[in-house]
Every structure is written in C-alpha cells, then in structure tokens.
C-alpha cells in the first residue's frame, strides 16, 4: 500500500502536471509525403519548440524565433487558375450562344431587303471586273487608285450582302426579274412614277452591256481609260439610284444604313471620275 501523502502535496503535483510542457512532435516517416502536403521544397518545416496545454483543453504552440508555420503556398495559385478558367468558359458560352442564336429577323423573300442584297451583288460584281481590267491596262496612278478602291470595297460589300441572305435563311438567287423590289421611281425619292422592271441583269441600273464589256477587254491605253471612266460613271449612277431606293424602302436598319453609305461613297467617286475624265 502506498504511503499516505498530504493533500497539499497532491494538489501541487496535479498543478505541475497541468503546466507540463509536451516535447516537440517527431516528424512523420517519409519526408516526401510531408513535402507533397506542405508544397515547400528543401528541408521540412520547423516544428514548434513546444506545445503547451492551457488547462482548458486548448493548446498553444510556441515557434522558434525566425520560423513560420507551414503554409499551403500553392493554394492561392489554384484558386486564381479556377477563377480564370470559369471566366473564359463563361465568355465562350456567351459567344457561342450569340453566334448560334441570333435575334430572329423575318425578311420577305420578295421584299426590298432581299431584292437589294441580290441585285446589288450582281451590280458590284460587274464593277469589280471592270476595275480589275483597267488596273491591268492603265499606268495612270489616279485611275489605278480609284480602280483599286472600287474592286476592294465592292468585293467586301458583296460578302456582307451574301451573309445577310444566309442569316435570313433566303436563297442567293432571285426568283423573279431583277429590281422588281423597286416600287417607286428610280432613285427611290417617291415621286410616284412607276419604275420599269428590266428583264435581265444586264439591264439593271447602270450595268454595262455584254458588247461594252467586250469592248473594254479589247481596248488599251487612253482608249481603255476613257471607256472605263465613261462606263463606271454610268455604272455608279445606277448604283446610287438602287441604293437610294433601298435606303427608303428597306425594312431593316442594317440594309438602310448600308445603302445610305453606298450612296455617299459612290457619289464621291462619280465626282472624282468626272474630274479625271476631263484630263484624260
């Protein structure tokens, strides 16, 4: 039987055990596993000098001077990568939805919007051919510059009008005679005079005839330059008349704005061609 100890001695021993300092924890075996968890390289992170029991079930750690507790250094990087990925995927989703689900637009197959898009494509195609022909024949820098502008601008515009018809779900080919969509007078100013509908694409406003195109192909020098300017001035005048009608009659703002731009651009080119024609 253990010898009897005074009550004061027992209380003192219990208090000593409460304040007892626990020795540092030994690192777990397999340092590479600890390295994978902490994300630190080199030596293992410093263990606290001691872990003190406060008496209420909590524990506090006392770290050696100059040392820091282990930190997951790659955590912030992972969060940032996830955020950027979400932003990119969200933006891509909005882009795809916008492309595959455009705002529905109903355009009549026989209306002025579709009619203008089809007829002006044919009109532009002839202007591009004429411009390329004169660039190969002429050494005049002013004429070559105008021809280059006509060819590049109108070819680009043809691509736009082609895309409109695709977006509207309509055929590129017309089902009736050209310019049937023009219900007012030529030029679209609403004078009330019925517009005569041509029976072929070469009879559209300002279009050169097959004979005139053949003459341009067979000409050279000053003759080619003069013939080109004469034909292109008339061609642009017809284009302005068609575009003015579309700016007045079209049902979509896209076509109205485009047609108004054609009127402005080709009117300026007519002035330049007329001034140049006087010096050829």
Supply the pLDDT for residue 91. Answer: 47
Name the domain count of the chain. 1
Encode pLDDT of 14-54 as tens digits: 555 555 544 555 555 554 444 444 444 444 455 555 545 54
Residue 209's contacts (CB-CB under 8 Å, 6 or more residues apart) are: 202
Supply the pLDDT for residue 24. Answer: 53
Confidence of residue 185 (pLDDT cuts 50, 70, 90): very low
Confidence of residue 229 (pLDDT cuts 50, 70, 90): very high
Degrees, nearest 5: CA angle 190-196-201? 115
Confidence of residue 78 (pLDDT cuts 50, 70, 90): low
Query: For position 229, which CATH number holds?
Result: 1.20.1260.10
- For range 234-263, the mean pLDDT: 97
Query: Looking at 46-60, 100-114, 171-185, 266-280, which range is the least confident one?
Result: 46-60
Q: What is d(CA 74, CA 79) in angstroms, rounded to the nearest whole number?
A: 9
Residue 82 lies in a domain: no
Residue 248 lies in a domain: yes
Residue 85 lies in a domain: no
pTM of the model: 0.59
In the chain, pLDDT over 90 holds for what percent of residues? Answer: 51
Residue 153 lies in a domain: yes
- Computed over every residue of the chain, the mean pLDDT equals 75
Residue 39 lies in a domain: no
Q: What is the span of the domain harbouring residue 272?
A: 112-277
Give the 3-state secondary structure of residue 62.
strand
138: pLDDT strictly greater than 70: yes
Residue 86 lies in a domain: no
């Amino acid at each position: 039987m253990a010898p009897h100890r005074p009550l004061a001695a027992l209380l003192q021993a219990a208090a000593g055990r409460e304040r007892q300092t626990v020795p540092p924890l030994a690192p777990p075996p397999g340092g590479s596993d600890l390295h994978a968890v902490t994300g630190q390289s080199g030596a293992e992170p410093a263990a606290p000098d001691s872990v003190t029991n406060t008496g209420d079930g909590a524990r506090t750690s006392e770290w050696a001077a100059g040392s820091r507790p282990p930190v997951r250094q790659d955590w912030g990087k992972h969060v940032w990568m996830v955020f950027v990925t979400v932003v990119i995927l969200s933006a891509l989703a909005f882009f795809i939805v916008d492309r595959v689900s455009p705002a529905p637009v109903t355009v009549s197959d026989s209306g002025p919007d579709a009619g203008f898009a089809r007829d002006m494509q044919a009109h532009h195609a002839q202007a591009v051919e004429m411009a390329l022909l004169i660039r190969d024949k002429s050494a005049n820098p002013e004429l070559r510059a105008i021809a280059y502008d006509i060819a590049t601008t109108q070819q680009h515009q043809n691509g736009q009008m082609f895309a409109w018809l695709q977006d509207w779900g309509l055929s590129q080919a017309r089902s009736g005679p050209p310019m049937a969509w023009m219900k007012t007078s030529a030029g679209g100013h609403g004078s009330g005079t019925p517009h005569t509908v041509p029976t072929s694409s070469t009879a559209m406003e300002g279009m050169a005839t097959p004979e005139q195109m053949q003459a341009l192909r067979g000409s050279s020098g000053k003759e080619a330059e003069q013939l080109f300017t004469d034909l292109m001035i008339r061609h642009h005048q017809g284009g302005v008349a068609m575009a003015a009608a579309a700016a007045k009659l079209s049902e979509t703002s896209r076509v109205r704005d485009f047609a108004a731009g054609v009127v402005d651009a080709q009117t300026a080119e007519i002035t330049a061609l007329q001034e140049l024609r006087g010096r050829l």
